[in-house]
A and B are shown apart, each in its own frame.
Chain A
Amino acid sequence: MTGFVDFLVYLLTIAGIWAMLSLSLNVQFGLAGLVDLGHVAFFMLGAYVSTILVVLNGWDITFGILAGGGAAAAFGVLMALPTARLQQDYWAISTLAVAEILRIFFLNTSLDGPNVGQALGVSGIPRPLRDWFNAEGYSNAAYGWFYLGLVMACLLATLVFCIWLSRTPFARTLKALREDDAVPLALGKRVSFFRIRAMAIGGAIGGLAGGLFAHYNAFIEPEYFRPIETFLIWAMVILGGAGNMFGSLVGTFLVMALYNSSRFVPGWLENLFGWTINGQVYGSLRLIVIGIIIILVILYLPNGLLPERRRRSAP
């Protein structure tokens, strides 16, 4: 049973990190309408920058994670610059390409001698306070609980920040940009500056999530940051409801549950009904299931499970 609890702690920790990613995409897409198909780039950049600074340059982990967030924010600014010239759909395709270029860059760059970086990834990434936990004689499970608490605290802070953000006049202008530039432009809004800031904020949160992931997993490789990850984040935002921050949490929970169900469901089916199902077949099936659910939600609940709330004006 302890194995199962440990696994749940692990799953919740990962889900918390993904919830941060989903919130950060919700800022970019839900509030600002930016179809960012390269969102995993921020996650990747946060993970790699923090890893490089901490493992190779001996930085403190906290500063490494913060620097990862900063680098991802700066990358968000860069990605937003072409929005002034490219139309939405062309820009969306270019974000997909940018994330892949970044992944291929890390895939081909050796970081420290021949055995670090490239396809081998980076291993032995230090975990925060791990030595202290060892010295005090705590178990691995206790450390798992500690990291879960850390991630949940970061998630809570992110959630509060995103809800606060979505109620500001800044977000109001972002929402106007979702539909068309003409009206905001005619009202004197510098639309490019608003988009740049939305990308930077979403990027920063995504980068922080990447740092948290790298220092939890203790190992990263380019394979972790394939385009499929971006589409899972999109599934979370669309299922939960674009523009609703709580929706992102619900969407993350659903997608993570489905995605990880391959570890449980075949066993349950076997025990309950006597059906045997090949684990690999089920693994492929779950993506189809997620796809079908997305189609159903788009058809019947186009605003997601938790639609964006209407902002009522106090009398």
Chain B
Amino acid sequence: MTDALLSVRGIEKRFGGLVALAGVSMEVPKGLVYGLIGPNGSGKTTLFNVVSGFMRQDAGTVAFEGRDIGRASPHRVARLGLCRTFQATACPTRMTVMENMLLAPQDQLGEGFVNLVARPRGVSRQERAFRARARDLLAIVNLAGKADEYAGSLSGGQKKLLALAQILMADPKLILLDEPVAGVNPVLAEEIAAVIRKLRDEGRNFLIVEHNMHFIRSSCDRISVLDAGRIIAEGEPAEVLAREEVLRAYLAGPAARPAA
């Protein structure tokens, strides 16, 4: 076994007659920001859904830290340390930013009644620690002043930042970000890229789906290109994005390409 953090082998997924993933294999090594790009409909989000347990593949295996997670439920996958965000920002809107942050940690004493009744001090000590960490993370993403606002009142870009901070609060080993800067203004996008690079240097691992090539270039160490359900290229962003087949995949529709 390699020391790949996430290893995907021969994933196939069909929706009726539509082949969304036609045998995808890729490895995400430790210590990198790994990008997954591809034109609309190439299967990126479907792959995310399969990896994170929200969808079941028709064939193929998914291994996280050498452990098979191909049939695990979403909450099991998350508890193993692989957490994801969503393309459509979905942080609960009728909870404050701080409540959203405090929602994220796993193994909360206060989620069980035995602890709530038998160890109230332990629960409040843990809550204090979570709150302190949430404040630090909110400061990193420039949301410290919004802690008591409803998440629903944030701008689109701020919601993306909240989703990022929330996922960090869960302290996962691998973070899957689904379009973290879609609809975000360029200045904020660059800030998000900087935050991600900083977190990588602190030892976090990322797998990112994104359409913004500028963002991909500035934040990813390595990328894979998905087209029509297959990986067609892999390598360093600058080199891969210059390849002819990648350009063709993006510029021409699937119909204009030679049959895959």
Contacts and interface: CB of A to CB of B under 8 A. Distances in A.
Interface of A: 168-170, 172-173, 175-176, 178-180, 182-191, 194, 197, 308, 310-313
A176 B52 contact: no
A187 B54 contact: no
A178 B99 CA distance: 14
A187 B104 contact: yes
A241 to B, nearest CB: 13
Interface string B82-96: 011110001111111
Contacts of B86: 182-183, 186
A175 B150 CA distance: 13
Interface stretch (B1-9, B15-23, B108-116): B108-116
A188 B106 contact: yes
Contact of B103 (A168, A173, A178, A180): A173
B96 A176 contact: no
Given A182-B90, A183-B86, 6 more contacts: A168-B123, A169-B123, A170-B111, A176-B95, A187-B104, A197-B113
Contacts of A183: 86, 90-92, 103, 166
B127 interface: yes
Contacts of A173: 103, 111
B108 A179 contact: no
Interface in B113-163: 113, 116, 123, 127, 131, 147-148, 150
B10 interface: no
Contacts of A312: 96, 148
A187 B73 CA distance: 12
A281 B76 CA distance: 58
B95 A186 contact: no
Contacts of B90: 179-180, 182-183
A310 B106 contact: no
Contacts of B104: 187
23 contacts: A169-B102, A169-B109, A169-B111, A170-B111, A172-B95, A172-B99, A172-B103, A173-B111, A175-B94, A179-B90, A179-B94, A183-B91, A183-B92, A183-B166, A185-B78, A186-B84, A187-B103, A188-B75, A197-B113, A310-B96, A311-B96, A311-B99, A313-B96
Contacts of A190: 75
B52 to A, nearest CB: 7
A178 B92 contact: yes
A190 B112 CA distance: 12
Output the residue of A173, A189, A311 with the most chain B CB within 10 A.
Answer: A189
A170 B103 contact: no
